[in-house]
Amino acid sequence: MKRLAPLAVVAALATSQPACYGSYSAFNKVHKWNANATGSKVANSAIHFGLWILPLYELCILGDWLIFNNVEFLTGNAVFK
């Protein structure tokens, strides 16, 4: 039974995704904001590094993958425009 649990989780995740790539709009919004956050490339790079450490980028990717891309696929409209 312990061997089947990870397989069941993977199967549940695989079947819950409607096989869409999506636009990853939440991640792209944060990334575009970061590109114009300051006038300095060095400061923007430091902010970019900090946002990876603070897991904002990771949470955006996870949210896009699990929620926002699926909503976009089902409704045809991006959640973040």
Written in H, E and C, the secondary structure of 18-37 is CCCCCCCHHHHHHHHHHHCC
Q: Which two tokens stand for residue 37?
A: 């956050």
Nearest to 22 by CA among 61, 57, 53: 61
pLDDT of 50: 95
Give residue for tokens 């430091």: 46
Question: Which CA distances in Å does 25 have to 15, 30, 38, 78?
Answer: 22, 9, 21, 7
- Provide the 10 A C-beta neighbour count for residue 46: 13
Q: Supply the mean pLDDT for the chain.
A: 84
pLDDT-based confidence at residue 45 (cuts at 50, 70, 90): very high
**What mean pLDDT comes out for the span 8-32?**
77
